[in-house]
Amino acid sequence: METQTNEVGGMSEGAEANATNSILNGSTAEAPAGTQNNDPASSEDNIAQTNGSTETPSGQSSVETDWRHEFAEGLEEKDKETWLNESARAENKQSMAKRFVDMRRSQSKSISLPSEDDPERESKMGEIYNKLGRPADPDEYKLNWEGDEPLTDSDKIAFDDWKQLAFRGGASQKFVDDSVKWQAQMRRVEQEAFKAKAEDIESDNAATLKSVWAGDYDKNVHAYRTSVGHYMSPADLESYSKMTLSDGSLLSNNPVMARAFAKVGLERASDDFDYTPMNADRKEGAQARLKALQNEVIEKNIRPGMPGYPAEEFNRLYQEVGSTRARSPNDQYKKRST
């Protein structure tokens, strides 16, 4: 049987079919002798042969491409697209497997928060807090105080209460340390501001006393110091000199206290044997007793040196009423007899 061929543009129909199949199917069959494809586009579309294996235009072998598509079979288009894009980053199956293992390892270290309506949310959140460094019990929190002043008992009680709140909030020890450090810094700032204000008040107090006492300033200061030194024991005086008011100023520098004690000192300094309004009742009683005793010895005619003469009592009463010498009953006797 003869095969009839029709020449079309210098190429037989059979040759044209063979060339078409070669391009579409990736066949490497050569065109029949006497035919030649001079189309540059068709030449570029032919698949090159390298060491006996075929390659895709992207440089990946068909074997490497097949495993990606093989794993993508059965996936929805969106998932399939995601898989192909992700797997394209791996050079081969082994590389992709390693990426998967690394991803799983990373996920095992991640934390998923439970939803608000999860009935086990509290316990799950507790597990998360523990992973983040929260101690197992509130009492395990340590108070690492770094303030300039030691903590008071009230501070320690407040910290014990705060530990419960920190535990419920999932605070780690590091968070507690940072919070305590911040508190120490804030207290330091407050103390510096308080001290500066107290110093301003001290200056105002000194200016007030200088204004009130004017030219007698040194005299009043001496009387003030003498007065408190006389009426206070050394221990009390030391405590008094350190006492502060709520504004941080010294009690001993307060104008009201200074003026009061200075007045007492000036009154007592005028005469060591003279009574002041502070003990007026005692002086009046001593004067009445002295007068009665004088009348008694005169009426009984008891003179100094005689039996029954109350010499010691006379001397004590004379001192109490402020006399600098003991007076003899004879003077009173002579005075009354005249």
- Asked if residue 72 and residue 19 are part of one domain, the reply reads no
Q: What is the pTM of this model?
A: 0.43
Length of the chain: 338
- Asked if residue 285 and residue 300 are part of one domain, the reply reads yes
- Asked if residue 267 and residue 239 are part of one domain, the reply reads yes
Task: Assign 26 to helix, strand or coil.
Answer: coil
- Domain of residue 66 covers 61-89
- Confidence (pLDDT) at 189: 93
- Confidence (pLDDT) at 49: 40
Please report whether residue 173 resides in a domain. Answer: no
- Confidence (pLDDT) at 207: 96
Q: What are phi and psi of 150, to 5 degrees?
A: -65, 155
Place of tokens 């697209």: 81
Number of Cβ within 10 Å of residue 265's Cβ equals 22
Please report whether residue 203 resides in a domain. Answer: no
DSSP alpha helices (H): ranges in 111-247?
Answer: 121-131, 153-168, 173-213, 217-231, 234-242
Please report whether residue 226 resides in a domain. Answer: yes
Place of tokens 């050569």: 30
Strands, E assignment, 39-138: 49-50, 53-54
Please report whether residue 314 resides in a domain. Answer: yes
- Asked if residue 242 and residue 259 are part of one domain, the reply reads yes
Please report whether residue 294 resides in a domain. Answer: yes
Indicate the residue among 274, 299, 319 that finishes a domain: 274
- Confidence (pLDDT) at 271: 52
Cα–Cα nearest to 85, from 68, 104, 67: 68
The total domain count for the chain is 4
| Residue ranges of the chain whose pLDDT lies below 70 | 1-65, 106-110, 269-283, 322-338
- Confidence (pLDDT) at 290: 85
- Contact call for residues 232 and 240 (beta carbons, < 8 A): yes
Measured distance CA(11)–CA(63) in Å, rounded: 35
Please report whether residue 176 resides in a domain. Answer: no
Measured distance CA(261)–CA(266) in Å, rounded: 9
- Asked if residue 299 and residue 265 are part of one domain, the reply reads no
Measured distance CA(256)–CA(261) in Å, rounded: 9
